[in-house]
Structure 1
């Protein structure tokens, strides 16, 4: 059991300290106690809290009672990741980190230990995209009729107001915002696919493991069509693509290559990528990351 005080990573503290939600701030203040309670309840020995860590969760490297290494994750309450445990149970280690135990009430997850410092971003771009495509394919399992997950229609509907509001801060992006909002309205109704998706898939969410070479972590699960998940992969490391010559045609080739390799419709992948690029781009601008946001909007315009 841990004897030294448990300190949340500074990145997590900085990310959540200004959150207007009182419950989030209360959770952050209580986090050292919550971690210790879970260590005691599950008879875990704390090795260290991983830093810099994430912006909405704490990850602690621990040992189970028999000495087996594991990772204890506590996530901010009320976030999209509320159904992370259910998604990991559905995948049962196939393409994703294995869930060992969960505490639904407290939002705690005990996960198999992966190599947190080694993600697909360590690989050359072409190899990373190949491995990422193989990993995300494993996660696309048909959703059960009584699944607990959010749907694409619901997730994008909730995002529409924020997109329109944030888009007003970038007048030049007006036509792109309107196009993205129209795509948001039509795309979810245009497909009958009902797959369980990772929801936040990118190369940095795929870590090296012992049981399998690469395993996905940190899902924000949602049910819908595969092109939505794949769109995030199209946008991954887009800055590297834009820095090269012939960036615009290279972006379109990436869409075509990924769509064909995973048997996803090219046009729908292009449309979901445009939507996600605009949605992310205007949010980045609104948050003060103007340069990155405007690059994303330029990427969207190429499509």
Structure 2
């Protein structure tokens, strides 16, 4: 069992190899790791699942015949926040966690259906599905969990935006960056521990999976933060740049912001500010990693969104 071949998706293999000796050792030891978990947890591990980049994921079946998914984080990936989030959520808006072993960066999760990104739905319908799922996820309190806070996240985004913009020779306007840095200070100052919910942190449509036999969805791969709900709505503000660039990006961005506010009851100004930070930081990261045209499109929208004054 231990010497069987393990199919590792190309992006996962490349990321592991980029981690150096520890990553190569992890790849070489996957067979033993999977065999050990099969023995310890009473599993039959099946075919590899594709689509991710940061972990090895495969179909599995428990001893009782329950379909599941085995997820193994690679070296350097801290899974404690993800585990804490899923344990606390108990399946409310998030995939249900069946077993976990932080020392082996291993999680056994319920098996969900296709991702929202794979369904033939409009951007409007995808946003609505994400917002419905977020509202279920936000019912969980982060109190007592050792998670990054919304204030820490805002400060981190501000630092990353400023440093990366300079390092990349300023690939977007100074006005856009100044706006992002100002918003980072404002969201950090607005942090209120009593208003926090358990925030996913990367709630896009690839991380939103259908619950089999229903029209409901659940999230996978949470970052796990203690923050205001608007922090989660930054991600749908960040996504689908091409749709915004097909018209007036500022006007369409404001419409999207208002739509997300109407769907969730979250104040539009906070959504906008988190959205600008997320769009800038992700656009700069994509540019740094040569992910194009995604990086250029994100930053082009950020430039169009850069205006002086409060949210119109």
What TM-score comes out, normalization by structure 1 length?
Answer: 0.90
3-state SS, counterpart of residue 199 of structure 1:
coil
| 2:175 paired with 1:175 | yes
Query: Quick one: distance in 2 between partners of 1:199 and 1:80?
Result: 15
Quick one: distance in 2 between partners of 1:250 and 1:5?
A: 49
Alpha-carbon distance, 1:253 to partner? 0.3
Partner Cα distance (1:144, 1:207) in 2: 23
**How far is the alpha carbon of 1:287 from its aligned partner?**
1.5
The Cα RMSD (Å) is 2.2
Q: Is the 8 A contact 2:230 2:271 kept in 1?
A: yes
Counterparts of 2:110 and 2:81 in 1: how far apart (Å)?
Answer: 18
Match of 1:293 among 295, 299, 303: 295
Partner of 1:149: 147
SS in 2 for 1:8: coil
How far apart are residue 197 of structure 1 and its match?
Answer: 0.2
1:119 equivalent to 2:138? Answer no
| C-alpha distance in structure 2 between counterparts of 1:182 and 1:26, whole Å | 43
8 Å CA contact 2:48–2:59 kept in 1: the answer is: yes
Partner of 1:215: 218
Number of aligned residue pairs: 299
Give 1:80 shift: 5.4
Change (3 A) 1:187 1:25: farther
Helix, strand or coil for the counterpart of 1:219? coil
Partner of 2:189: 189
Q: 1:140 to 1:151 in 2, by over 3 A?
A: same
**2: CA distance, partners of 1:214 / 1:288:** 32
Structure 2: distance between partners of 1:76 and 1:156: 27
With normalisation by structure 2, the TM-score equals: 0.87
Q: Distance in 1 between matches of 2:161 and 2:24?
A: 26
In the alignment, the residues of structure 2 paired with residue 173 and residue 29 of structure 1 have an alpha-carbon distance, to the nearest angstrom, of 45
Q: Deviations for 1:95-146, whole angstroms, at most 9, x for unmatched residues?
A: 121111111211111111112x442551222222111110011111353432
Q: 1:32-181, aligned counterparts within 5 Å?
A: 32-51=31-50, 53-79=51-77, 81-115=79-113, 117-122=114-119, 123-141=121-139, 143-168=141-166, 169-171=168-170, 172-181=172-181
**Cα distance 1:162–1:129, how it changes in 2: closer, same or farther (>3 A)?**
closer
**1:49 CA drift (Å):** 1.2
Kindly state the Cα deviation for residue 270 of structure 1 after the two structures are TM-superposed: 0.7
Report the counterpart of residue 206 of structure 2 in structure 1: 204
Unpaired runs of at least 5, structure 1: none
Q: Please name the residue that 1:7 is paired with.
A: 7
Shift of 1:13: 0.5
Structure 2 distance, partners of 1:198, 1:35, is 27
Q: 1:301, CA displacement in angstroms? A: 2.8
CA pair 176-81 structure 1, distance change in 2 beyond 3 A:
farther
3-state secondary structure, aligned to 2:293: helix
User: Alpha-carbon deviations, 1:222-270, whole Å to 9, x = none?
Assistant: 1111111001012222323323x34431221000111122111111111
259, 269, 277: which one aligns with 1:267: 269
Matched residue of 1:143: which SS?
coil
Q: Deviations over 1:67-86 (max 9, x none)?
A: 22111111124435431111
What is the DSSP-based 3-state SS (H/G/I as helix, E as strand, rest coil) of the residue aligned with 1:58? strand
Provide the C-alpha distance between the structure 1 equivalents of 2:173 and 2:129, rounded to a whole number of angstroms: 34
Q: Which moved more, 1:26-35 or 1:134-143?
A: 26-35
